[in-house]
Amino acid sequence: MSFATSATRPSLLRWIPAVVIAALILLPAHAIVMENAFTLALMSRIVILAIAAVALNLVLGYGGMVSFGHALFLGLGVYSAAIPAVHGVENVLAHLLIAVLACGLIGLITGAIALRTQGIAFIMITLAFAQMFYFVFVSLSPYGGDDGMRLAGGSQLAAINLTHPTWLYATSLAILLLSLYGMRRLVSSRFGMVLQGSRINDTRMRALGFATARYRLAAYVISAMLCGVAGVLYANLTQFAAPSYMSWAMSGELIVMVVLGGMGSIMGPLYGAAALLLTEEALKSVTEHWMLILGPAIVAMAVLGRHGIAGLLAARTQPHTAASAPKVAAGERPAPCASRPARLVVKNLVKRYGGLLATDHVGLELETGRIHVVIGPNGAGKSTLIGQLSGEIPPDSGSIEMDGRDITRMPVHLRSLAGLKRSYQITSVLPQFTALENVMLALQAHQGHSFRFWQPAHQQDALLQPALAALQEVGLQNHAHTPAGTLAHGQQRQLELAMVLAVQPRVLLLDEPMAGMSLAESRDMTQILQRLRPHYAILLVEHDMEAVFSLADQISVLVYGRCIASGSPEEIRNNEEVRQAYLGEEA
C-alpha cells in the first residue's frame, strides 16, 4: 500500500501546472459570478506581473543576466497606454504597438551598452538606466510628474475596454498562456540552446563559433518588449501611471518572483508571482508588520530551495529508476570527413605580461596530415601559445597566417568558423547539457546563424545525425543522453574532441587532451588521434611523453616562453639542451 502511494504521488505532482492553470480559469470565473471584485483584481495582478516575470526569466533564468532595471520596461508599457490616452488615442493595438516599439528600441540601446560588461557592473548599469528614465518621467509635469496621473481612457478594441475587470483578466490570461507556450518553444529552439550555453560557459560558446553577444542582446530586447506588453495591461488594471512603476523596488519584486518560482523554468515565474502576491495578501490580513515575516520567508525559500518552487516540484516528480536512454546505433566508426588541406604558419609570436615573456618570438608551422607537438615544463607558455592561436589572447607582436591569410587580429568566433578549433587544458564542456546537446551546439555554430526561435533543436536531423556520428567517432555513442557533468573525466575529454570533430575542422589545437586520464584512457585517446592524423593539421600540447613520442611528427620545446629546440622525435630525444632543461636526463 505504501509502495502504491509513493509511486502515485510523483504522477499526481506532474499535474500541478495543469491544476494551476485550471485555477487561473476557475477562481476568477467564480469571482465574476459572485461579484468579488477584490479576488478578480488580485488574480489580474498575479497574471500581469507573471507576464513581466516570464519576460525577466528569459534574461535572468536562461541568459544569466541579472537585470535590476527591468521595471523600466514595465513603466514604459504603462506610459505607452497612459500618454496616448491623454491625446485621445485609446486603441489597444496602438498602445501595444507603441509599447513594443518603445521597449524594443530602449532595450536595444541600453542592452548594447550594459552587455559590454558583466557581473555587478551589468547589474548597476541596468539599475542606472531605470533610475535615469524614472527621473525623466518625474520631470514630465504635463503627464503628472512625480505624482503620476490617472488613465484618461482604457485601452479599447471595438466594444472591448480593458479597464473592465472581466475583459482585462481574460486578455491578460490569454497573453500569459501564449507567453508560457512561446517561452517553451523558444528555449528549446536553436536560439534558446545558444542563450543557455552562453549562460553556462560563454568562453566555450565563443570558441565553438558563436558571437554570443548578439544572442544575449536579442534575448534582452525580446524580454523588454514582452515586459512592455505587461505594462500596458498593468496600466489598465491600476488605471494609473506613475514613475514609481520604474523604481528599483519594482525591479526587485520581479527578481524575487523569478527566483522564488524557479529561474530557468517555464512555469517558475507564474509560481513565483502567485506565491509572492498571495502570501503578501495573506500576511496583510493578519498583521500590519507583514514585511517582517515575508522578508525572512523569501530568504528561507531561496536558501532551502535553490531552484525555487519549480525545482522542488521537479525533484519530487523524478522517477526512482532512470529511464533507459535511446541507444545510438552501433557499427563501424565513420571515417572523418575530408576537408581541403590546411596550413598554419606562426612567425615571431610575442606575448608579455609586464616583465614576463609568456611567448618569446615563437614560430611554428602546421599542415594537414602531421601532428606538431609542443612540450615544456609548467609555465613555459604552452597554453598561452594556444590561446593566441585560437584568438582568445591577443599577441603583442608577430603574425598568424592560415592558408596565406593573416588572421592575427581575427576574433575567436570567426577563427572557429574558418575551421580552427581548440580544446582546453581544463575540461570545458557544458555540464547541464547532455553529451549529444554539447555536440549539437558545436554543429549549430557552423550551420549558419542560430536565430531560429520556434522549432525544437532536438527534432532537427541536420543536427542530430552528425552529432551522433561525432560521438561514435570518439567512442561515446552509448552516453549520448548522459548529462556532460556526470561523465567521467576521460569521457569529458573525449566529448570535447567530439565537439571539435563534429564541424569538420581543418586545424586542431589540443591543449593536454590526456591530462588527468588513466593509462587505459590515455591509450584510447592516442589511438583516436592516430586515426585523425591524416585528416587534420594538429597542434598537440601534452605532458605524456609516451603519447608524445608515439604521435609526433615534429616536436617543439618551450622553456620560459622561448622555443629552445624543434625537430623530429628522435632529434628532440637526442638534444642535450632539451634533456637537461625538460626531459630530466643527464647529458
Cell of 512: 593536454
Of 542 and 326, the one with more pLDDT: 542
DSSP-assigned states of every residue in 207-243:
HHT--HHHHHHHHHHHHHHHHHHHHHHHHHHHTEE-G
Q: What domains sit in the chain, N to C, each tagged with a CATH number? A: 2-316 (1.10.3470), 343-583 (3.40.50.300)
pLDDT at 334: 45
Question: Per-residue pLDDT for 197 more than 80?
Answer: yes
> 355-392, pLDDT tens digit by residue?
788 888 888 888 898 899 988 887 888 888 888 888 88
pLDDT at 11: 54
Residues β-bridged to residue 566 = 556
Please give the average per-residue pLDDT across 438-446, as a whole number: 84
pLDDT given at position 386: 87
Angstrom CA distances, 276 to 80, 173, 238, 254, stand at: 27, 18, 19, 10
End-to-end, the C-alpha distance of the chain in Å comes to: 78
State pLDDT tens for residues 264-298.
889 989 999 998 998 888 887 777 777 777 777 77
Contact (CB, 8 A) for 544 and 490:
no
What gap in Å lies between CA 357 and CA 381, rounded to an integer? 9
**pLDDT(421) > 50:** yes
> Which phi and psi (to 5°) does residue 192 adopt?
-65, -35
Quick one: what percent of the chain has pLDDT higher than 90? 26
Give the chain's length. Answer: 587
115 pLDDT above the threshold of 60 = yes
Local confidence band at 330 (pLDDT 50, 70, 90 cut-offs): very low
What is the pLDDT at residue 319?
A: 43
What pLDDT shows up at residue 393?
87
Pairing of strands 507-511, 537-541: parallel
Exposed/middle/buried for residue 573 (C-beta within 10 Å: 0-12, 13-18, 19+):
middle
When pLDDT is cut at 50, 70 and 90, the band that residue 71 belongs to is very high
Q: Give phi and psi for 424, each to the nearest 5.
A: -115, 150
Averaged confidence pLDDT in the chain: 84
pLDDT confidence bin for 168, thresholds 50/70/90: very high
Q: Band of the pLDDT at 449, cuts 50, 70, 90?
A: low
User: 421 versus 230: which is more confidently predicted?
Assistant: 230
CA distances from 438 to 83, 419, 446, 561 (A): 48, 18, 14, 33
pLDDT for residue 392: 86
Most confident of 95-104, 247-256, 303-312: 95-104
Residue 332 DSSP symbol? S
The DSSP symbol for 335 reads P
Among the ranges given (125-129, 210-214, 311-315), the one the predictor scored with the smallest mean pLDDT: 311-315
Identify whether the C-beta of residue 513 lies closer than 8 Å to the C-beta of residue 497: yes
* pTM for the whole structure: 0.78
- Sign of the dihedral through C-alpha 280, 286, 291, 292: negative
Residue 92's alpha-carbon distances to 76, 77, 154, 245, 456, in angstroms, are 15, 12, 8, 20, 32
Report the distance separating Cα 386 and Cα 510, nearest Å: 8
CA distance 260 to 264: 11
Least confident of 11-20, 84-93, 104-113, 268-277: 11-20
pLDDT, position 102: 95
